[in-house]
A and B are shown apart, each in its own frame.
Chain A
């Protein structure tokens, strides 16, 4: 059993996990990365990243993902196309259950990221790809000269609403509060925009249509109403992927893994990197920084330094 234990298992192949694999590989730890999909995480959805240091003019998300993946393999990272489903302490080891068997690890770096929250209303799932979207950069151009809605009031919602005005005839922002949560600059631009409207203190109760989305059923202080819309873009927040940890690791108030400056969590030998952990700035640059630190911390943990 011990002979087969991996030095370090990295859960997730987004920028944090890939950076952790690059550094752990260079430390000679032969990391194993568990990623059921394609490498890159949210990079796969980004057309161009304009603020990643070292790339003036920007770099495409998929292209950066491919480079990180290549670099991790260059330093001996191994990849397995499975998802982690549970962990348990086993003496000095951590057993990681996956969709394809169990892996024993001396240290685990959790870089499982976060997924967009769903509205959880009737019609949302049925109309996915037929008017319901979670990615304005992917789907915006299909809504040229149409009336659409954005649900949410944070930075992402307002940023995407502004971006969608390049295509749509009108964008209605539906927010459950009576004021936006987004940053001052974004708020000012959105509130002044001639083609952005607002429905305040309103809640989506259903997405409706035939072959594709035709409208949204809303409830606000005036009661129930129907807003005609051919597209609904949902930005009501993200949920860190922590279910597989089974409540064994401390979370912060917002459900992210609580991790120290060196990425250590409350679970000895388990480190947290990227969007899954509580942190002040969620960017590709901070994800790769987390990954690098987590690899160093795991190495120190293994050598008892």
Chain B
């Protein structure tokens, strides 16, 4: 799935929870059709806002511990973390404009 960096159960604490700035995590799996549509939208978002918000993808098939810990039972789900805490959750397919709007980045 494109150019976004992946995060795993093993690297989640260091890459997400202990990160200095906000991190947006894309919970996805290869069998999920809307996840395939979200990927290019997220890449466009990261190209524009990657300097302010780190964007990482997490494969829920390969990283079930993190999926269970955050009770993600519908994908795609985007979770915004800041200071080790969940700040916002977006369930379902969104385009990059809608994503910017929901995260308060548009305009």
- A residues neighboring B (CB under 8 Å): 36-38, 40, 44-47, 60-62, 65, 81, 128-131, 133, 135, 137-139, 141-143, 211-212, 231
- A contact residues around B75 at 8 Å (CB): 138-139, 142
| Of the residues A62, A130, A133, contact of B34 by C-beta under 8 Å | A62
With A37-B98, A44-B37, A65-B37 as known contacts, state yes or no: A143 contacts B93, CB within 8 Å: no
Inter-chain contact total with CB atoms closer than 8 Å: 70
Given contact pairs A37-B93, A37-B98, A142-B75, a sample of 13 additional A-B residue pairs in the complex whose CB atoms are under 8 Å apart: A37-B95, A38-B93, A40-B37, A44-B33, A47-B33, A81-B97, A129-B77, A129-B92, A130-B72, A133-B73, A139-B73, A142-B67, A142-B74
Q: How far is the CA of A61 from the CA of B37 in the complex (A)?
A: 10
B53 beta carbon closer than 8 Å to chain A: no
Q: Would you list 16 pairs from A and B whose C-beta atoms are within 8 A, ordered by A residue?
A: A47-B31, A60-B33, A62-B36, A65-B37, A128-B91, A129-B77, A129-B91, A131-B73, A133-B73, A133-B74, A135-B74, A138-B32, A138-B34, A141-B29, A142-B74, A212-B71
Could you tell me if A130 and B73 are in contact, using CB atoms closer than 8 angstroms?
A: yes
Q: How far is the CA of A38 from the CA of B71 in the complex (A)?
A: 26
With A60-B36, A81-B95, A138-B33 as known contacts, state yes or no: A211 contacts B71, CB within 8 Å: yes
- Chain B contributes a number of interface residues (CB within 8 A of A) equal to 25
With A62-B37, A128-B91, A129-B89 as known contacts, state yes or no: A141 contacts B31, CB within 8 Å: yes
SS class, residues of chain B in contact with chain A: loop
B41 beta carbon closer than 8 Å to chain A: yes
**Shortest distance between the CB of A2 and any CB in chain B (Å):** 31
Chain B residue, CB-CB nearest to A60: B33
- A contact residues around B95 at 8 Å (CB): 37-38, 81
- B contact residues around A45 at 8 Å (CB): 33-34
Could you tell me if B31 and A61 are in contact, using CB atoms closer than 8 angstroms?
A: no
**Shortest distance between the CB of B97 and any CB in chain A (Å):** 6
Q: Which of B61, B73, B91, B94 is packed against the most chain A CB atoms within 10 Å?
A: B73
**Shortest distance between the CB of A222 and any CB in chain B (Å):** 30
Q: How far is the CA of A296 from the CA of B91 in the complex (A)?
A: 38
- B contact residues around A135 at 8 Å (CB): 74
Digitize B12-31: 1 where CB-to-A-CB distance is under 8 Å, 0 elsewhere: 00000000000000000101
Q: Which of B36, B41, B60, B94 is packed against the most chain A CB atoms within 10 Å?
A: B36
Q: How far is the CA of A141 from the CA of B39 in the complex (A)?
A: 20
Chain A residue, CB-CB nearest to B76: A138
**Shortest distance between the CB of A55 and any CB in chain B (Å):** 15
**Top 9 closest pairs, chain A to chain B, by CB:** A129-B91, A129-B74, A212-B71, A142-B73, A62-B36, A139-B74, A62-B37, A211-B71, A47-B33
Q: Which of B32, B34, B75 is packed against the most chain A CB atoms within 10 Å?
A: B34
- B contact residues around A65 at 8 Å (CB): 37
